[in-house]
Amino acid sequence: MTDLIWSFSPWLAFLLGTRVTSLYGAVAAGAAAAAIVAARAVARRRVHLLDIAGLCYFLALGAVLVAVHPSHLEFWSRYAQAGSHVALTLIVFGSILIGRPFTESYARRTAPAAVWHTRQFHAINQRISAVWGLAFLAGTISLLIAGSGSDRQVLLRVIVPFGALYLAYRYTQKQTGKAQDATPPSEPAASGSARPTPVSTSH
Residues of the chain with pLDDT under 70: 179-203
| Number of domains making up the chain | 1
Contacts with 146 (C-beta within 8 Å, 6 or more apart), sequence order? 78, 81, 82, 152, 153, 156, 157
Give domain status of residue 200, yes or no. no
Residue 196 lies in a domain: no
Flag whether 71 is in a domain.
yes
Q: Decide if 54 is inside a domain.
A: yes
Could you tell me if residue 8 is inside a domain? yes
What's the whole-number average pLDDT of the chain?
Answer: 86
Domain-embedded: residue 173 = yes
> Is the residue at 79 inside a domain?
yes
Residue 193, domain member (yes or no): no
What is the Cβ-side half-sphere exposure of residue 122, based on CA atoms within 13 angstroms? 10
Q: How many helices (H) and strands (E) does the chain have?
A: 8, 0
Q: Rounded to whole angstroms, how far apart are CA atoms 158 and 39?
A: 29
Determine the structural domain holding residue 30 and report its residue range.
Answer: 2-182
For 165-189, how does the pLDDT look when each residue is reduced to its tens digit (9 = 90+)?
Answer: 999 999 998 887 776 665 544 344 4
Q: What is the DSSP annotation of 57-69?
A: HHHHHHHHHHHH-
